[in-house]
Structure 1
Amino acid sequence: MIDVTLNLLPLIRKARGRIVNVSSIAGRHALCGGGYCISKFGVEAFSDSLRRELKHFGVKVSIINPDFFKTEILNSTRLKENITNNWKKMSQNLRNDYGEHYYHNYCKFIEEICSRSSTKLTLVTDCMEHALTAVHPWTRYSAGPYAKFLYMPLSYLPTSVADYILGS
């Protein structure tokens, strides 16, 4: 995403074009471990800095924050298999430190997220369409009910309150 954007930037500036990046609600709240949230926080930071830098050139930058959609990334069988494999690779001491309850709660969390996922991908593509065609596109789009009514509003609260609500 960064490489393509930077290579096309001269043309985008010249055309006073638009950049629309798809992040995730996990770019606003680190909902799980691993590299996924880290990469989405990176999309957010890159897009925010681009938006500020390119405003002078008339370029508009938007970020789309989808919540949970039935795509391959939310394949609960594959996710739980990966979690189980990683759990088994951990040393016994580390597993003891975390406790079996941590492993089972994390699997339950993954199952819950996957069960909430929507098949209505038009919620995301409608945001994309608006970001690309509106006279005044929004800076951020919340695609999906959890993004719009839970995770995005939580991102504006003090961290301790958001952590409490998310059960951290």
Structure 2
Amino acid sequence: MFDLLPLCVVLIVMFLTGSLIIRSRKLGDLSGRYVFITGCDTGFGNMLAKRLDSLGMNVFAGCLTPKGQQDLEKATSKRLVTVALDVTNEDSIRKAYAEVKQKLPHDKGLWGLVNNAGVAGNASPLEWQTIENYRKCNDVNLYGMINVTTVFLPLVRKAKGRVVSITSIMGRVALVPSPYVVSKYGAEGFCDCLRYQLYNSGVTVHIIEPGFFKTAIINIEDSERDMRKSFQALENEQKEFYGEHYISELMDSANKTIDELVSPNTYKVVDAFTHALTAVYPRARYVVGFDANIQFRLIWTLPEWIGDRLVTSRFPKPAGCQNR
């Protein structure tokens, strides 16, 4: 047994080293490759559009607002083309598709389709949520992703390219508000189905699963406003169960979590996107961030009765549970 241990260590080291070398191989000239990215007004989409433009790729950047288009055009080369896009509107998606198809060279398809557009959704506790809150969040994070992918897939297939979609570590661990979690679990399932069904077509599918990073999607003031509005709409019995101080306690917990977990190193997510688009052998999944790789990985690996205690220890107790 002890004689085998050094051999096992050597084999593991060789395997990990070989994997790193293989994964580090990059595609050659990128100037003939075209990528379409959704949600480029701000955040990861904006940063990725600039990164790929600087690498010489041809970028179609989907933006929700005219200001987003103008600001991005000023910050990039003339190679980058902005496209008006609302992922919740099918007509907008089809118009964007027609524009991209018309501007692509006749013999080219899309090397990359990047589903990046996303919203945080209403931050209230589950019992306070309305069906409309779920619809609004899923319209962007899930149905928008599905619609964009379905419409643009023929262009990706033509180039035997890649579909790269951002989900979240909350597609594995249900920590933050339920509309967001539901949308991300759904996005994970959609991407897995897509990867299996396109396996023999030459199109590959890749998922980016970030932890908490400092972007505009994290807005404490908006979260508190949503909670107070939702609380006022509750029945008196529900208000009594949670108590008047529950929101303040929940916000204190949220602020503490943000201070502990939110990383300013947004470039790590952009690096993952870039690798998925430019590596010869990209990964199927990219778990990004210290919190995602250590804390949250521990939670989804442990038995539920342990993971549940770790997660719920961060939440304050409603007034109706104080004596339990």
TM-score of the aligned structures, taking structure 1 as reference length: 0.89
TM alignment of 1:12-31, pairs within 5 A: 12-31=156-175
The 1-side partners of 2:180 and 2:237 are apart by 26
For the 8 Å contact 1:76–1:114, the answer to whether it is kept is no
The 1-side partners of 2:245 and 2:174 are apart by 21
Q: Identify the match of residue 193 of structure 2 among 49, 63, 66.
A: 49
Name the structure 2 match of 1:94.
238
Q: Which string of whole-angstrom CA distances, capped at 9 and with x for unpartnered residues, describes residues 78-111 of structure 1?
A: 2122212222322221022234564344222321
Q: Go from structure 1 to structure 2 and tell me whether the alpha carbon gap of 1:20 and 1:102 turns closer, same or farther (over 3 Å shift).
A: same
Q: Identify the match of residue 39 of structure 1 among 183, 205, 209.
A: 183
For the 8 Å contact 2:167–2:184, the answer to whether it is kept is yes
Name the structure 1 match of 2:301.
156
TM alignment of 1:37-116, pairs within 5 A: 37-100=181-244, 102-115=246-259, 116=261
Q: Go from structure 1 to structure 2 and tell me whether the alpha carbon gap of 1:58 and 1:161 turns closer, same or farther (over 3 Å shift).
A: farther
1:130 Cα shift? 0.9
Amino-acid identity (%): 38
The 1-side partners of 2:302 and 2:226 are apart by 32
For the 8 Å contact 1:68–1:117, the answer to whether it is kept is yes
Gaps of 5+ in 2: 1-144, 314-324
For the 8 Å contact 2:224–2:247, the answer to whether it is kept is no
In proportion to residue count, which structure has more helix?
1
1:58 Cα shift? 2.4
Q: Identify the match of residue 5 of structure 1 among 126, 146, 149.
A: 149
Q: Which string of whole-angstrom CA distances, capped at 9 and with x for unpartnered residues, describes residues 12-62 of structure 1?
A: 223221111001111111113341111111110110110111111122211
Specify the SS of the correspondent of 2:150. Answer: helix
Larger RCO of the pair (alpha carbons < 8 Å, separation 6+): 1
The 1-side partners of 2:234 and 2:301 are apart by 36
Amino acid at match of 1:143: V
Amino acid at match of 2:161: G
For the 8 Å contact 1:66–1:142, the answer to whether it is kept is yes
Q: Which string of whole-angstrom CA distances, capped at 9 and with x for unpartnered residues, describes residues 92-134 of structure 1?
A: 2102223456434422232123323222210100010111111
Name the structure 1 match of 2:105.
none
Q: Go from structure 1 to structure 2 and tell me whether the alpha carbon gap of 1:165 and 1:51 turns closer, same or farther (over 3 Å shift).
A: same
The 1-side partners of 2:264 and 2:195 are apart by 31
Q: Go from structure 1 to structure 2 and tell me whether the alpha carbon gap of 1:14 and 1:156 turns closer, same or farther (over 3 Å shift).
A: farther
The 1-side partners of 2:193 and 2:249 are apart by 37
Q: Go from structure 1 to structure 2 and tell me whether the alpha carbon gap of 1:16 and 1:157 turns closer, same or farther (over 3 Å shift).
A: farther
Q: Identify the match of residue 146 of structure 1 among 276, 287, 291.
A: 291
Question: Which of structures 1 and 2 has the bigger CA Rg?
Answer: 2
1:65 Cα shift? 0.9
TM-score of the aligned structures, taking structure 2 as reference length: 0.48
For the 8 Å contact 1:124–1:143, the answer to whether it is kept is yes
Q: Go from structure 1 to structure 2 and tell me whether the alpha carbon gap of 1:153 and 1:56 turns closer, same or farther (over 3 Å shift).
A: farther
More displaced, 56-65 or 120-129?
56-65
The 2-side partners of 1:150 and 1:100 are apart by 31
